Amino acid sequence: MSDANSKGISEKTPYQFMLLDESGGPCDVRWSTLIRMEYTDAPTEPQPFSADMMQCPYCGTMLPSNAEACRNCDWTREATKPAEPKASDAMAILLSIIPGLGHIYKGHRIMGAIILFLITPTAIAFAILASIASAGWGILMLIPYWGAVMLHVWAIEDRVTPTPDEGEQY
């Protein structure tokens, strides 16, 4: 009989460690590498695909094509829905460095053209007149005007119409 069997240790466990417990005495710990692992997240058999079914984009589970959420993971249709094409407020404000361009970008073409070609030149003319009368300080009147145009372009609703994405055409 082998030395391991005389101590009561099974031959199936190839490793044995001696540890000290909290009171200082030895403690047997046996570790086996014969542990079987079963993978349960992989599909066991190929699932049939039909036109009224879709795969979950996260885990690949077959779902009805009108499903709002996956039953196996945390996917929801709302989470992967693309954003609707809207004009960016930040880009509109940046374009308003030239007053009127931000309005045109957000779809307000007539208002943008009026601001660009009528209101802004009038404001510049009044600022020049005020600067002549005030030793140059009147030119600072353009700063609140510029800020007001930027604030207005941020506050107005978009008129940009969403165009359907046709994807790549071959």
In a domain, 136, yes or no: yes
In a domain, 43, yes or no: no
**Helical H segments across the chain, by residue range:** 3-6, 77-80, 89-95, 101-105, 109-114, 120-133, 142-155
Residue at 148 is within a domain: yes
Residue 41 placed within a domain: no
In a domain, 54, yes or no: no
Q: In this structure, what DSSP letter does residue 137 have? A: G
The pTM of the full predicted model, rounded to 2 decimals, is 0.46
The reply to whether 17 falls in a domain is yes
| Residue with the two structure tokens 């940046």 | 94
Residue 60 resides in a domain: no
Beta bridge partner(s), residue 53: 64
Tell me whether residue 38 is in a domain: no
CA distance 118 to 110: 11
- pLDDT for residue 63: 86
For residue 122, what pLDDT band results from cuts at 50, 70 and 90? very high
CA-CA distance, 26 to 90, in Å (whole number)?
A: 69
- How many folded domains does the chain comprise? 2
- Boundaries of domain holding 17: 1-31
Give residue-wise pLDDT tens across range 23-64. 555 555 555 555 566 656 655 666 566 678 888 888 888 888
Q: Which residue has the higher pLDDT, 162 or 123?
A: 123
Question: Tens digits of per-residue pLDDT, 106-116?
Answer: 889 999 999 99
